[in-house]
Amino acid sequence: MIATFKKHILNFKRPSGTSRGVLNTKETYFLILKTEESFGVGECGLLRGLSIDDRPDYEEELEGVCENIAMGVNEEDLYEALTEFPSIQFGVETAFKSLQSKNPFELFPSEFTRGEEAMPINGLVWMGDKAFMKEQISEKLKQGFTCIKMKIGAIDFKTELELLKSIRKEFSASGVELRVDANGAFSPKEALEKLKVLSDLKLHSIEQPIKQGQWQEMARLCEETPLPIALDEELIGIFSEEKKIELLNTIKPQFIILKPSLIGGFRGSDSWINLAKKFNMGWWITSALESNVGLSAISQYTFTKNSKLPQGLGTGSLYTNNINSPLEVSNGELNYNPNVQWDFPF
Protein backbone atom coordinates (compact mmCIF):
# COMPACT_ATOMS: atom_id res chain seq x y z
CA MET A 1 0.00 0.00 0.00
CA ILE A 2 1.20 3.50 -0.81
CA ALA A 3 0.35 6.27 1.69
CA THR A 4 0.93 9.96 1.01
CA PHE A 5 -0.41 13.24 2.39
CA LYS A 6 -1.28 16.47 0.65
CA LYS A 7 -1.55 19.90 2.29
CA HIS A 8 -4.45 22.05 1.09
CA ILE A 9 -5.06 25.70 2.01
CA LEU A 10 -8.78 26.54 2.09
CA ASN A 11 -9.66 30.17 1.36
CA PHE A 12 -12.66 31.74 3.10
CA LYS A 13 -15.14 33.53 0.83
CA ARG A 14 -15.17 36.33 3.36
CA PRO A 15 -13.18 36.75 6.59
CA SER A 16 -14.86 34.79 9.40
CA GLY A 17 -14.73 36.25 12.90
CA THR A 18 -14.43 34.32 16.15
CA SER A 19 -13.47 35.52 19.62
CA ARG A 20 -10.00 34.13 18.85
CA GLY A 21 -9.57 36.38 15.82
CA VAL A 22 -10.53 36.60 12.16
CA LEU A 23 -9.92 33.66 9.80
CA ASN A 24 -9.01 34.22 6.14
CA THR A 25 -7.52 30.81 5.36
CA LYS A 26 -7.53 27.37 6.94
CA GLU A 27 -5.01 24.65 6.25
CA THR A 28 -5.91 20.99 6.11
CA TYR A 29 -4.21 17.74 5.14
CA PHE A 30 -5.48 14.80 3.09
CA LEU A 31 -4.14 11.35 3.90
CA ILE A 32 -4.31 9.32 0.67
CA LEU A 33 -4.04 5.52 0.55
CA LYS A 34 -3.61 3.54 -2.67
CA THR A 35 -3.43 -0.14 -3.52
CA GLU A 36 -3.63 -1.67 -6.99
CA GLU A 37 -7.42 -2.00 -6.67
CA SER A 38 -8.48 0.68 -4.21
CA PHE A 39 -8.18 4.32 -3.19
CA GLY A 40 -8.94 5.85 0.20
CA VAL A 41 -8.82 9.38 1.57
CA GLY A 42 -9.12 10.86 5.04
CA GLU A 43 -8.86 14.45 6.18
CA CYS A 44 -6.62 15.53 9.04
CA GLY A 45 -8.53 18.66 10.01
CA LEU A 46 -5.98 20.69 11.95
CA LEU A 47 -7.37 23.93 13.39
CA ARG A 48 -4.52 26.30 14.26
CA GLY A 49 -4.77 27.83 17.71
CA LEU A 50 -7.39 25.34 18.88
CA SER A 51 -6.33 21.77 18.02
CA ILE A 52 -4.24 20.13 20.75
CA ASP A 53 -2.02 18.81 17.94
CA ASP A 54 -1.18 22.26 16.55
CA ARG A 55 2.53 21.47 16.90
CA PRO A 56 5.70 22.16 14.87
CA ASP A 57 6.19 18.42 14.29
CA TYR A 58 2.74 17.88 12.72
CA GLU A 59 3.97 17.18 9.18
CA GLU A 60 6.78 15.03 10.55
CA GLU A 61 4.16 12.95 12.35
CA LEU A 62 2.18 12.60 9.11
CA GLU A 63 5.34 11.40 7.32
CA GLY A 64 5.81 8.78 10.04
CA VAL A 65 2.19 7.65 9.65
CA CYS A 66 2.68 7.19 5.88
CA GLU A 67 5.86 5.17 6.47
CA ASN A 68 4.13 2.96 9.04
CA ILE A 69 1.19 2.33 6.72
CA ALA A 70 3.60 1.37 3.90
CA MET A 71 5.29 -1.06 6.31
CA GLY A 72 1.92 -2.70 7.04
CA VAL A 73 1.20 -1.35 10.55
CA ASN A 74 -2.55 -1.91 11.07
CA GLU A 75 -5.10 0.83 11.62
CA GLU A 76 -5.83 -0.08 15.25
CA ASP A 77 -2.17 0.16 16.30
CA LEU A 78 -1.67 3.36 14.31
CA TYR A 79 -4.72 4.95 15.93
CA GLU A 80 -3.56 4.03 19.45
CA ALA A 81 -0.07 5.46 18.82
CA LEU A 82 -1.56 8.80 17.72
CA THR A 83 -3.30 9.75 20.99
CA GLU A 84 -1.66 13.19 21.04
CA PHE A 85 -2.70 13.84 17.42
CA PRO A 86 -6.52 13.54 17.40
CA SER A 87 -6.90 15.16 13.97
CA ILE A 88 -4.51 12.59 12.46
CA GLN A 89 -6.43 9.83 14.27
CA PHE A 90 -9.54 11.08 12.46
CA GLY A 91 -7.66 11.13 9.13
CA VAL A 92 -6.39 7.57 9.65
CA GLU A 93 -9.85 6.26 10.60
CA THR A 94 -11.55 7.86 7.60
CA ALA A 95 -8.78 6.93 5.12
CA PHE A 96 -8.96 3.23 6.05
CA LYS A 97 -12.77 3.25 6.09
CA SER A 98 -12.69 4.96 2.68
CA LEU A 99 -10.22 2.35 1.33
CA GLN A 100 -12.48 -0.51 2.46
CA SER A 101 -15.69 1.05 1.10
CA LYS A 102 -17.26 0.25 -2.26
CA ASN A 103 -17.38 4.01 -2.91
CA PRO A 104 -14.36 5.77 -1.27
CA PHE A 105 -16.55 8.75 -0.31
CA GLU A 106 -19.49 6.77 1.09
CA LEU A 107 -18.22 5.61 4.46
CA PHE A 108 -21.52 4.99 6.27
CA PRO A 109 -24.16 3.95 3.69
CA SER A 110 -27.63 5.00 4.92
CA GLU A 111 -30.84 6.78 3.96
CA PHE A 112 -28.73 9.96 4.19
CA THR A 113 -26.16 8.92 1.56
CA ARG A 114 -28.96 7.51 -0.63
CA GLY A 115 -30.54 10.97 -0.63
CA GLU A 116 -33.72 9.74 1.09
CA GLU A 117 -33.35 11.64 4.37
CA ALA A 118 -31.77 14.95 5.42
CA MET A 119 -30.35 16.19 8.72
CA PRO A 120 -31.44 19.41 10.47
CA ILE A 121 -28.47 21.72 11.08
CA ASN A 122 -27.96 25.12 12.68
CA GLY A 123 -27.36 28.24 10.60
CA LEU A 124 -24.07 29.73 11.74
CA VAL A 125 -23.76 33.50 12.26
CA TRP A 126 -20.14 34.68 12.43
CA MET A 127 -18.89 37.55 14.53
CA GLY A 128 -18.53 40.94 12.95
CA ASP A 129 -20.04 44.40 13.25
CA LYS A 130 -23.76 44.78 13.94
CA ALA A 131 -24.74 45.31 10.28
CA PHE A 132 -22.83 42.23 9.13
CA MET A 133 -24.30 40.01 11.85
CA LYS A 134 -27.80 41.32 11.16
CA GLU A 135 -27.36 40.61 7.45
CA GLN A 136 -26.28 37.02 8.19
CA ILE A 137 -29.22 36.46 10.54
CA SER A 138 -31.83 37.59 7.98
CA GLU A 139 -30.04 35.51 5.30
CA LYS A 140 -30.23 32.36 7.48
CA LEU A 141 -33.91 32.93 8.29
CA LYS A 142 -34.70 33.43 4.59
CA GLN A 143 -32.89 30.17 3.84
CA GLY A 144 -35.34 28.33 6.08
CA PHE A 145 -33.17 27.68 9.14
CA THR A 146 -35.19 27.10 12.31
CA CYS A 147 -32.05 26.86 14.46
CA ILE A 148 -29.57 29.75 14.49
CA LYS A 149 -26.21 29.63 16.22
CA MET A 150 -24.64 33.02 16.87
CA LYS A 151 -21.03 33.50 17.90
CA ILE A 152 -20.82 36.14 20.62
CA GLY A 153 -18.05 37.80 22.62
CA ALA A 154 -16.30 39.88 19.95
CA ILE A 155 -18.47 43.01 19.84
CA ASP A 156 -20.02 44.57 22.92
CA PHE A 157 -22.54 42.47 24.85
CA LYS A 158 -25.29 45.12 24.59
CA THR A 159 -25.19 45.04 20.78
CA GLU A 160 -25.24 41.24 20.75
CA LEU A 161 -28.28 41.28 23.04
CA GLU A 162 -30.05 43.70 20.69
CA LEU A 163 -29.45 41.34 17.77
CA LEU A 164 -30.83 38.38 19.69
CA LYS A 165 -33.82 40.44 20.85
CA SER A 166 -34.56 41.44 17.25
CA ILE A 167 -34.88 37.73 16.31
CA ARG A 168 -37.06 37.02 19.34
CA LYS A 169 -39.37 39.93 18.47
CA GLU A 170 -40.09 38.25 15.17
CA PHE A 171 -39.82 34.56 16.12
CA SER A 172 -40.84 32.74 19.30
CA ALA A 173 -38.68 30.03 20.86
CA SER A 174 -40.90 27.40 19.20
CA GLY A 175 -40.43 29.11 15.81
CA VAL A 176 -36.65 29.59 15.89
CA GLU A 177 -34.21 27.89 18.24
CA LEU A 178 -31.35 30.18 19.24
CA ARG A 179 -27.95 28.92 20.36
CA VAL A 180 -25.01 31.15 21.27
CA ASP A 181 -21.32 30.28 21.34
CA ALA A 182 -19.11 32.44 23.54
CA ASN A 183 -15.87 30.56 22.77
CA GLY A 184 -14.77 31.27 26.36
CA ALA A 185 -15.21 35.05 26.03
CA PHE A 186 -16.79 35.74 29.48
CA SER A 187 -14.80 36.08 32.68
CA PRO A 188 -15.88 33.74 35.54
CA LYS A 189 -16.85 36.82 37.60
CA GLU A 190 -19.33 38.24 35.05
CA ALA A 191 -20.53 34.99 33.43
CA LEU A 192 -23.51 34.14 35.67
CA GLU A 193 -24.96 37.65 35.37
CA LYS A 194 -24.68 37.51 31.57
CA LEU A 195 -26.29 34.05 31.49
CA LYS A 196 -29.25 35.41 33.47
CA VAL A 197 -29.72 38.24 30.96
CA LEU A 198 -29.42 35.81 28.01
CA SER A 199 -31.88 33.36 29.55
CA ASP A 200 -34.68 35.96 29.25
CA LEU A 201 -34.42 35.45 25.47
CA LYS A 202 -35.35 31.76 25.79
CA LEU A 203 -32.15 30.50 24.22
CA HIS A 204 -31.55 26.79 23.69
CA SER A 205 -28.02 26.85 25.14
CA ILE A 206 -24.69 28.65 25.40
CA GLU A 207 -21.41 27.03 24.38
CA GLN A 208 -18.30 27.45 26.49
CA PRO A 209 -19.19 30.68 28.38
CA ILE A 210 -15.75 30.81 30.08
CA LYS A 211 -12.33 29.60 28.93
CA GLN A 212 -11.59 25.90 29.18
CA GLY A 213 -9.58 24.46 32.07
CA GLN A 214 -11.46 26.25 34.88
CA TRP A 215 -13.33 23.16 36.05
CA GLN A 216 -14.51 24.47 39.43
CA GLU A 217 -15.79 27.78 38.02
CA MET A 218 -17.51 25.96 35.16
CA ALA A 219 -19.05 23.45 37.61
CA ARG A 220 -20.46 26.34 39.66
CA LEU A 221 -21.87 27.94 36.52
CA CYS A 222 -23.49 24.69 35.37
CA GLU A 223 -25.07 24.25 38.78
CA GLU A 224 -26.45 27.78 39.03
CA THR A 225 -27.16 28.63 35.39
CA PRO A 226 -30.68 29.53 34.23
CA LEU A 227 -29.53 28.65 30.69
CA PRO A 228 -28.24 25.20 29.58
CA ILE A 229 -24.45 25.14 29.12
CA ALA A 230 -22.67 23.10 26.45
CA LEU A 231 -18.99 22.20 26.77
CA ASP A 232 -17.00 22.51 23.56
CA GLU A 233 -13.29 23.48 23.85
CA GLU A 234 -13.35 21.90 27.33
CA LEU A 235 -13.23 18.44 25.72
CA ILE A 236 -10.03 19.12 23.76
CA GLY A 237 -6.95 17.33 25.08
CA ILE A 238 -8.92 15.00 27.38
CA PHE A 239 -7.70 11.62 26.15
CA SER A 240 -8.27 8.89 28.76
CA GLU A 241 -11.63 7.45 29.79
CA GLU A 242 -10.81 8.23 33.44
CA LYS A 243 -10.13 11.89 32.69
CA LYS A 244 -13.34 12.17 30.62
CA ILE A 245 -15.36 10.72 33.51
CA GLU A 246 -13.63 13.08 35.96
CA LEU A 247 -14.42 16.09 33.74
CA LEU A 248 -18.12 15.23 33.31
CA ASN A 249 -18.50 14.25 36.96
CA THR A 250 -16.92 17.50 38.14
CA ILE A 251 -18.57 19.99 35.79
CA LYS A 252 -21.93 18.24 35.13
CA PRO A 253 -22.77 20.22 31.97
CA GLN A 254 -26.21 20.09 30.37
CA PHE A 255 -24.70 19.31 26.92
CA ILE A 256 -21.40 18.36 25.31
CA ILE A 257 -20.41 19.22 21.74
CA LEU A 258 -18.30 16.81 19.74
CA LYS A 259 -15.87 17.83 17.00
CA PRO A 260 -14.38 14.56 15.70
CA SER A 261 -11.24 16.28 14.30
CA LEU A 262 -10.44 17.65 17.77
CA ILE A 263 -11.30 14.64 19.95
CA GLY A 264 -9.95 11.58 18.12
CA GLY A 265 -12.40 10.92 15.31
CA PHE A 266 -15.24 8.39 15.43
CA ARG A 267 -13.80 6.31 18.27
CA GLY A 268 -13.27 9.45 20.36
CA SER A 269 -16.81 10.64 19.61
CA ASP A 270 -18.30 7.22 20.46
CA SER A 271 -16.51 7.29 23.80
CA TRP A 272 -17.93 10.75 24.70
CA ILE A 273 -21.45 9.82 23.48
CA ASN A 274 -21.50 6.69 25.65
CA LEU A 275 -20.46 8.73 28.69
CA ALA A 276 -23.01 11.46 27.93
CA LYS A 277 -25.75 8.81 27.91
CA LYS A 278 -24.45 7.38 31.18
CA PHE A 279 -24.47 10.85 32.81
CA ASN A 280 -27.81 11.75 31.21
CA MET A 281 -26.36 14.70 29.28
CA GLY A 282 -27.37 15.91 25.84
CA TRP A 283 -24.90 16.12 22.94
CA TRP A 284 -24.58 17.12 19.31
CA ILE A 285 -21.85 16.98 16.69
CA THR A 286 -20.14 19.91 14.97
CA SER A 287 -17.62 20.17 12.17
CA ALA A 288 -14.37 22.04 12.80
CA LEU A 289 -14.02 23.89 9.48
CA GLU A 290 -12.93 20.80 7.54
CA SER A 291 -13.18 20.66 3.75
CA ASN A 292 -16.13 18.72 2.31
CA VAL A 293 -14.08 15.50 2.58
CA GLY A 294 -14.01 15.61 6.40
CA LEU A 295 -17.42 17.28 6.64
CA SER A 296 -19.03 14.50 4.60
CA ALA A 297 -17.40 11.77 6.74
CA ILE A 298 -18.59 13.49 9.94
CA SER A 299 -22.10 14.03 8.53
CA GLN A 300 -22.47 10.40 7.45
CA TYR A 301 -21.28 9.21 10.88
CA THR A 302 -23.59 11.68 12.67
CA PHE A 303 -26.66 10.43 10.78
CA THR A 304 -26.06 6.90 12.12
CA LYS A 305 -26.28 8.25 15.69
CA ASN A 306 -29.98 9.17 15.34
CA SER A 307 -29.80 12.45 17.26
CA LYS A 308 -32.95 14.53 17.06
CA LEU A 309 -31.13 17.84 17.69
CA PRO A 310 -29.95 20.13 14.86
CA GLN A 311 -26.27 19.43 14.27
CA GLY A 312 -23.46 21.92 13.55
CA LEU A 313 -22.59 20.74 10.06
CA GLY A 314 -23.29 23.68 7.77
CA THR A 315 -19.74 24.86 7.04
CA GLY A 316 -19.27 23.44 3.53
CA SER A 317 -20.06 26.67 1.69
CA LEU A 318 -17.49 28.83 3.51
CA TYR A 319 -14.63 28.39 1.05
CA THR A 320 -13.86 29.48 -2.50
CA ASN A 321 -11.82 26.32 -3.17
CA ASN A 322 -13.60 23.53 -1.33
CA ILE A 323 -13.73 20.01 -2.81
CA ASN A 324 -16.90 19.68 -4.94
CA SER A 325 -19.17 17.14 -3.28
CA PRO A 326 -22.77 15.85 -3.05
CA LEU A 327 -23.38 17.83 0.17
CA GLU A 328 -26.14 20.44 -0.21
CA VAL A 329 -27.88 22.69 2.31
CA SER A 330 -31.56 23.36 1.73
CA ASN A 331 -34.30 24.66 4.10
CA GLY A 332 -32.05 24.42 7.13
CA GLU A 333 -31.14 20.80 6.41
CA LEU A 334 -28.02 19.05 5.15
CA ASN A 335 -28.68 16.75 2.19
CA TYR A 336 -26.45 14.29 0.35
CA ASN A 337 -27.29 14.23 -3.35
CA PRO A 338 -26.07 10.86 -4.74
CA ASN A 339 -26.48 12.16 -8.31
CA VAL A 340 -23.65 14.67 -7.78
CA GLN A 341 -20.14 13.34 -8.33
CA TRP A 342 -17.18 14.04 -6.07
CA ASP A 343 -14.39 16.02 -7.64
CA PHE A 344 -11.28 15.16 -5.59
CA PRO A 345 -8.29 16.65 -7.44
CA PHE A 346 -5.36 15.04 -5.60
Contact assessment for residue 295 and residue 287, using Cβ atoms and an 8 Å cutoff:
yes
Other CB atoms within 10 Å distance of the CB of residue 88: 29
Contact 27, 5 (CB under 8 A): no
Q: Are 148 and 122 in contact (CB under 8 A)?
A: yes
Q: Which residue among 97, 140, 211, 259 is the active-site one?
A: 259
Q: Is 134 a catalytic residue?
A: no
Beta-bridged to residue 186, according to DSSP, are 210
Q: Please indicate whether residue 151 is annotated as part of the active site.
A: yes
**Candidate list 151, 194, 211, 244, residue with the active-site label:** 151
Altogether, the residues listed in the chain come to a count of 346
Which strands, in side-by-side order, build the sheet including 255-258? 123-125, 147-151, 177-181, 205-207, 229-231, 255-258, 282-285
| Beta-strand runs (E) in 122-244 | 123-125, 147-151, 177-181, 205-207, 229-231
Q: Which residues are catalytic?
A: 151, 259
